[in-house]
Amino acid sequence: MNAKLKGALCGIISAISYGTNPLGALFLYKEEINTNSVLFYRFFIAAIILAFLMLIQKKSFSITKKEFLILGVLGILFGISSLSLFTSFRYMDAGIASTLLFVYPVMVTIIMAVFFKEKITFITVLSILLALTGIAMLYKNDGNNTLNTIGVVLVMLSSLAYAVYIIVVNKSSLMMSSVKLTFYVLVFCMLTIVAHSFSAKANHIQILTTSTSWMWAVMLALVPTIISLIMMVQAVHNIGSTPTAIMGALEPLTAVIIGITIFDEMFTVRLGTGIIMILIAVILIIIGKSSKPKLFISTMDNAKRVLKKYFKWK
């Protein structure tokens, strides 16, 4: 499979998988499981699964001091991003929180421009303006009720941490399999959550006592964690950090659909318009990165070759 096509497919799978976060989190919240506990079991179960997978594949667990430091940074970043996002679910609809989170591609673009001298084009500026306008529309609904400020701040923190995470994955010198990288990231995520649980008196880690709780915890470990992170690493390595961020357009769409169909969350014209503006803003960023849609052209060339071979089409 063409590397760019493979990267795009991995990015799509990663985005849809990550968008299922509200599905597991909100069901666990209904069972009165606190945020620290939800995330601890998510990362703990995922790390165990990946450890067994590495043992079966006879992969080495050894890492250098430099790799330890980079993986530690990645784990802390993803831990902060997850903790902020899952906490925001308690202050606003999960679908809206996941849509606000999607400003991270814009943050990736800005950080890459400021710190790595990537060129800022007119389309990039337009994208940023559209994203900010979309966020403003989400902030106030059709009934003039504003979103909870604490929730918005938490999502922005989550988005920033995730943007930096993607850039570090792309720019770091880590040379290891995506499974090994994800395993250590999850271990450091788990340690981050444990440390946070000791600092918050009301949020100590609880013991899961029902089969339903364990079922949703395993779902969070498998779908939006293992599958999403491994696919994201593959996508970043094949197509880069910005295109991978663009594929994330499916994250908020997945979360919004889950929120509306399963949790009866409100969806208005104003909110829909805000979501569309954010999606357009992010899509415009990737269009501005290249003068030619290379992945599309490559796909069309492959299709033409198949048609010529089997149907003598010219």
In eight-state DSSP terms, residue 292 is S
Q: What is the CA radius of gyration of the chain?
A: 20
What is the rounded distance in angstroms from the CA atom of residue 199 to the CA atom of residue 284? 41
- Give the 3-state secondary structure of residue 209: coil
In eight-state DSSP terms, residue 144 is S
Q: Return the pLDDT at 6.
A: 86
Q: Are 88 and 158 in contact (CB under 8 A)?
A: yes
The two three-digit tokens of residue 243, written as one number: 């295109």
- Give the 3-state secondary structure of residue 279: helix
Written as one letter, the residue type at 128 is I
Q: Are 97 and 155 in contact (CB under 8 A)?
A: yes
What is the rounded distance in angstroms from the CA atom of residue 186 to the CA atom of residue 50? 9
Q: Return the pLDDT at 52.
A: 95
pLDDT tens for the 314 residues of the chain, in order = 678 888 888 888 998 898 899 999 999 999 999 999 999 999 999 999 999 999 998 999 999 999 999 999 999 999 999 999 999 999 988 888 887 887 887 788 888 888 887 777 787 778 778 877 877 777 665 555 677 889 999 999 999 998 999 889 888 878 888 889 989 999 999 999 999 998 866 688 999 999 999 999 999 999 999 898 888 888 888 887 667 766 777 787 788 888 888 888 777 787 788 778 877 876 776 566 544 444 333 433 443 444 344 444 44
Q: Return the pLDDT at 202.
A: 60
What is the rounded distance in angstroms from the CA atom of residue 131 to the CA atom of residue 129? 5
122 Cβ partners below 8 Å, 6+ apart? 288
Q: Return the pLDDT at 141.
A: 58
CA distances (Å), 18 to each of 2, 5, 128, 314, in order? Answer: 24, 20, 23, 42
pTM above 0.75, yes or no: yes
In eight-state DSSP terms, residue 249 is T
Q: Return the pLDDT at 201.
A: 67
Element of type H or E holding 257: helix 250-263
